[in-house]
Amino acid sequence: MSQLKTGTKDQGAGAPGAAGAAPAVWTTLAEYEGRVEELRGREFKSDPRPAAPGLPPILGQAPAAAAPGGMDRRNFMKWSTAALALATAACSRKPVHYLVPYTNQPENLLPGVSEYYASTCRECAAGCGILVKTRDGRPIKVEGNPLHPLNRGTVCARGQGVFLNLYDPDRLPGPVRVQRGRAGSPIFNRKNSIHDLYDVQLGPLPGVPNTPPPGPVELAAGARLDWNEADQEIVAALRRAGKSGVLLTGTVHGPARTQLIADFCAFYGLRHVVYDAFNPDALTAGQAASYGKAEVPRYFFDRVEMLVTFGGDPLGAGISRQEYARGFGQQRKLRPAQGNDFIAASEAARQHGYAGQRMSRVVAFEPAMSQTGLNADTRYLLRPEQLLEAALGLAHQLVVIDKRSAYAGNGAVTAALAGFAPAAVETRLQLPAGTLAGLAAELWAHRGESLIFAGGPAAATATAAELEMVASFLNSALENEGATVDGTRSPSQQAQGSHQAMFALLDDMRAGRVGALLIHGTNPAYTLPANAGFEAALAKVPFVATFAERLDETGRLSDLVLTSLHGMESWGDAEPQQGLYSLIQPTILPLFDGRSFEDSLIALARAGGSKQFEMVVPTPPPPEPAPVVPGGATPPSGTTPAAGTTPPAGTTPAAGAAAPAPGAKPAAAPPPAPPKMQPMTFHDYLQAVWKKEIYGRYSLAGSWEDFWTGALRQGFFDPDPNRLQPGSARTYNPAALAAAAQAARRAPAPPADGELALALAASPMTGDGWCNNNGFLLETPDPVAKVCWDNFVSISPGTAKKLGLAHGDLVEIAVGEARLRAPIHLQPGVHPQVAALALGWGRTSVGAIGNGVGVNAFPLAQARAGQWIGAGARVRLVKAGSGYNLAEPQGNNYLHGRAIALQTTFAALAANPTAGNVPPPPDENIWHNGGPSDHSYPGHHWGMTIDLNACIGCNACIVACHAENNVPVVGREQVQVGREMSWIRIDRYYTGEFENPDVINEPMLCQQCANASCESVCPVIATITDAEGINVQVYNRCVGTRFCSNNCPYKVRRFNFYDYAGIQYQRGAPLELALNPDVTVRSRGVMEKCNFCLQRINDAHLKAQKLGVPIPDGGIQTACQQTCPTEAIYFGDMNDPKSRMMRARAPRGFEVLADMNNQPTITYLLKVRNVPERQA
């Protein structure tokens, strides 16, 4: 019946194209243009592989050569009889399992009981605090550390996906001799990559010189190295190099880690160079010119009432994006006039409406839609090189015309801004007249609580530093300096790399001034521009050694690759912001024959004769009844590999407390015998540095042991409460503004006809691409384009029409000598003269999953005069093919023109609390004629409230759900046919102007309906509403008819067409260790979907039962809710009106497809846009 209803809607007002009018809300171009037939086709896709030759038999499709059906009946009978015979003969009982207990049971460690350890995420250099959930000695889930001042309990998508990196079978098994790629390596390209399995050939596009995945090559005999041998070789090379050796690393912070690098460099006389692919060169240069000191300031997004970005993408690619997103989300919610309590504001709105409440305003000037632009109230499209002029125009309006700020009347400033009169700037940049005047007035009204944020690859033109100078000027003029920008008290240390330093190093290398190069934590061979000439420069270096977890592009060009450890296997520390000390502790023994980079440095220094890394043998602790014998235990299931499942005493996180204090004074024995010395591990070194630098410096009460245990338990040490406030304002140097204006007057000519300005962008999912062997991240769609398993050239639909290009065409782009070929994606919200392309894809040596996925756009950037130019280059898109099938999960479901995502404006909401929240017209339906359902929920009734205003589309929830619920990755082709498995997705809805639309992000997951459409059609009652209102899916009962999925109006049910989990996790050991043992791994032929993290609800029940108390509000956090940086998701008991979840359901709340009377338990709060009257 519901299907019938759908049909009628199609032909009515719901089908926009048919009526000729543009829809108010649309998701895809096809929908906007009303290509209904195409959309219907996408909704019910069939397997597009009629006869794929070479398809592995695991997928059950015979090659085309075989007879239809693959096997005739006679053969079938033969084989099945043989199989039966074998089965009866071989199997006397089900497989015998063994239970292997510890020989020495550690206290407080029980099989099947999770332990949590505080640590610091090392997936990027931001240094967010995490809690690692371990089970039977293996980490299985990461959650944010709620106490950590940086991220306050949230982790981004990359952090959530960490386990596919930790347990990656493609990691290097041990140190190898690579000999500059001559001997090659067999480690990658085994023939079981996910692409091979699904027969997706992503390899090099014909005729394109770049992105050739290296072929499978045999490891030369003797390529595996012995650690001693490797150490000796490196020491010899460093000795030969003398003072010309260089240590090249990515960003490193943390007192012990920096101190160690300094000690090591001092011992060998090395120079330390820091290089990251994404680095704040422009920002630090701008800061240095503006304030005299090169700093990466700290931004207080939680104090920003008005954010204006000039090309910057703090949410998608910010240096500390979790911190930014947390503050951003807090400010985007509707808050009371005083304080930030969103729940209180919601409750108040029930009675008094929204008048008098606050929310922040976001304005973005950008060349292409970034993740921040996705969340902006107002967006202006500019080419990358125009951003500077727009910023200067804004400054002119503010200071010269409006005569605001302390700089009004300042001669130097006025002179500098001459020629940037807003009217002229607006004409030149084709901005609506009055834009800058309006913006300046708003900003001035929010002075001291606004922020001008510039930078990022999309703004990295030749004048990127100048843009930062103007942004700094605006922040100073608007009194944000010292209020939302902190450059004095606790500036950020999360990004220290520099292209300038790297380019200088390359010059030295070319000139033969580098005798030996040690590389760790950065991948210059992959991330440097083509014209930087890294490979040629490296050839001039006599000796190169790389310390890496995997054999990356740089490793392939090295002499030796020494396996370093994953962040979860090693000790370490971090100091993301000055004065915030964070600890990294291992939660598992090394899975491969590796040694942490820090331990390698100590070993190398010792091998070279350093006596520094020795310590006094600690006095033996008082004899214990039984010495602790580590290891020897496997989880009792008998199915998990035994490798390193228990950290030994020395590395056991909790052992930090029990371990004897290193560096403790030797016992005061009368004879002054020379103390016995023993080599230090990095663990000892770390403790020694912390004891001296932190415990000593802050002269804390209590013993060192207590301090250390406490810091380990908490995960960080943040001694200065004032650090949470911004420091004092710095004084702006007007000469910087003059320099910036001078540079802006030399703006390049606009692109010629047919030319576009290239804007390279950081990909929110892959970052700089270092963890691209991670299926979770590759399959999670890009927040803006909603395309996965590829990067692509985004151009606006209008430009495409002009250039004669279509969605899925292949184009060739050339900048200088670098050329690549990539598919076209039509993206509304891109400047008509801009082509945007994401960086961080197209790895060639990362592992079987990530090799050759997408194209590497880093070579398209240019090294020019020590600067990295990622934006503004003029390119022509040369059509080189068509019909490339991008994997786009978003378009797989057709809206039928229904009102699914609602929105309103802030002004309208203040006048009317239910503005925009129009209930859909009542509709006939099969459910109780619109009445209540006949379920009763005497105990709990779980539900959710999701604030569309706070959802920034960052995808952290999606990856968290993958990790928590063992949701498999299926590969590009399966996504193309609509078989993606993610239980939660973020739907992106466009509204408004076609070429520059507004966006609503709507997380969509199972709505746990009371009147569930799925339940009524299941023939085996495999899906059923339980006593607490959850629509449970009973996997062992499911027979795979897929009726439920067909009948689900929200399209949130996922079907295992193949044994996806098996294919993904049995790719190689130890990948299976990443699975959550509390959640059944679904096999082929089973339907699955979100169940509100049932295992967490069960856990909470047991815990409450044990304590004899009710489950407290907030006692259960679903995985998506837990990691959401903006707290957009509230989960709680609908029977408890006092729960935060229920209190949040303000007048803004609506249920999706309420007219069907499915009675979903999820209420959405409609999207509110903070646009001033002049734009509303």
Which residues contribute to the site for another protein (CB under 8 A)? Answer: 81, 84-85, 87-88, 91, 93-94, 96-105, 110-113, 626, 629, 631-633, 636, 638, 938-939, 1024, 1026-1028, 1030, 1032, 1034-1037, 1078-1081, 1091, 1094-1095, 1098, 1101-1102, 1104-1106, 1108-1111
Distance of CA 1056 to the CA centre of its chain: 26
* Residue (445 or 629) nearer to another protein, CB: 629
* Residue (93 or 191) nearer to another protein, CB: 93
Could you tell me if 707 and 716 are in contact, meaning their C-beta atoms sit under 8 angstroms apart? no
Could you tell me if 914 and 832 are in contact, meaning their C-beta atoms sit under 8 angstroms apart? no
Closest separation between CB of residue 64 and another protein, Å? 32
* Residue (46 or 92) nearer to another protein, CB: 92
Closest separation between CB of residue 1164 and another protein, Å? 25
**What is the SS3 string spanning 623-644?**
CCCCCCCCCCCCCCCCCCCCCC
What is the Cα–Cα distance from 774 to 850, expressed in whole angstroms?
Answer: 7
Sign of the CA dihedral running 272, 277, 280, 285: positive
Closest separation between CB of residue 642 and another protein, Å? 10
Closest separation between CB of residue 1018 and another protein, Å? 12
Closest separation between CB of residue 347 and another protein, Å? 24
Closest separation between CB of residue 826 and another protein, Å? 42
Could you tell me if 573 and 565 are in contact, meaning their C-beta atoms sit under 8 angstroms apart? no
Nearest partner of 880 among 814, 799, 794, judged by Cα: 814
Task: Tally the C-alpha atoms within 13 A of residue 533's C-alpha that lie toward its C-beta.
Answer: 14
* Residue (81 or 201) nearer to another protein, CB: 81
Closest separation between CB of residue 101 and another protein, Å? 4
What is the Cα–Cα distance from 955 to 544, expressed in whole angstroms?
Answer: 38
Q: What are phi and psi of 984, to 5 degrees?
A: -125, 140
Q: What are phi and psi of 292, to 5 degrees?
A: 90, -15
Q: Which residue(s) pair with 288 in the sheet?
A: none
Could you tell me if 1074 and 1100 are in contact, meaning their C-beta atoms sit under 8 angstroms apart? no
Between the alpha carbon of residue 131 and those of residues 27, 159, 824, 1101, the distances in Å are 37, 11, 40, 22
* Residue (111 or 1172) nearer to another protein, CB: 111
* Residue (643 or 806) nearer to another protein, CB: 643
* Residue (679 or 1110) nearer to another protein, CB: 1110
Helix axis angle, 597-607 to 227-241, nearest 10°: 70
Closest separation between CB of residue 799 and another protein, Å? 50
* Residue (80 or 179) nearer to another protein, CB: 80
* Residue (227 or 1035) nearer to another protein, CB: 1035
Could you tell me if 759 and 751 are in contact, meaning their C-beta atoms sit under 8 angstroms apart? no
Phi-psi region of 42 (alpha: psi -120 to 50; beta: other; left: phi over 0): alpha
| Contacts (Cβ under 8 Å, ≥6 apart) of 1040 | 1055, 1056, 1085, 1086, 1087
Residue 942 is classified by DSSP as: E
Closest separation between CB of residue 1097 and another protein, Å? 8
Nearest partner of 1162 among 1092, 1094, 1101, judged by Cα: 1092
Closest separation between CB of residue 109 and another protein, Å? 9
| Strand 581-584 to 271-274 pairing | unpaired
* Residue (676 or 1106) nearer to another protein, CB: 1106
What is the Cα–Cα distance from 1171 to 905, expressed in whole angstroms?
Answer: 7
Closest separation between CB of residue 96 and another protein, Å? 6
Closest separation between CB of residue 1136 and another protein, Å? 11
* Residue (52 or 628) nearer to another protein, CB: 628
* Residue (111 or 920) nearer to another protein, CB: 111
Q: How many CB atoms neighbour CB 625 within 10 A?
A: 4
What is the Cα–Cα distance from 28 to 151, expressed in whole angstroms?
Answer: 34
Q: Among the residues of 139-280, which ranges form H helices?
A: 157-160, 162-166, 194-197, 227-241, 255-268
Closest separation between CB of residue 1082 and another protein, Å? 9
Closest separation between CB of residue 92 and another protein, Å? 8
* Residue (1134 or 1156) nearer to another protein, CB: 1134
3-state SS class at 548: strand
Q: Map tokens 């099945």 to a residue.
A: 80
Closest separation between CB of residue 1096 and another protein, Å? 9
| Contacts (Cβ under 8 Å, ≥6 apart) of 985 | 781, 889, 958, 1003, 1004, 1005, 1052
* Residue (1106 or 1138) nearer to another protein, CB: 1106
Closest separation between CB of residue 1087 and another protein, Å? 13
Closest separation between CB of residue 138 and another protein, Å? 15
What is the Cα–Cα distance from 187 to 174, expressed in whole angstroms?
Answer: 11
What's the token pair of residue 741? 């204006």
Closest separation between CB of residue 136 and another protein, Å? 10
* Residue (94 or 191) nearer to another protein, CB: 94
* Residue (112 or 754) nearer to another protein, CB: 112
* Residue (110 or 418) nearer to another protein, CB: 110
What is the Cα–Cα distance from 1120 to 146, expressed in whole angstroms?
Answer: 15
CA angle 949, 492, 143 (to 5 degrees): 55
* Residue (585 or 965) nearer to another protein, CB: 965
Nearest partner of 1031 among 1016, 1004, 1012, 1050, judged by Cα: 1012
What is the Cα–Cα distance from 115 to 101, expressed in whole angstroms?
Answer: 18
Phi-psi region of 589 (alpha: psi -120 to 50; beta: other; left: phi over 0): beta
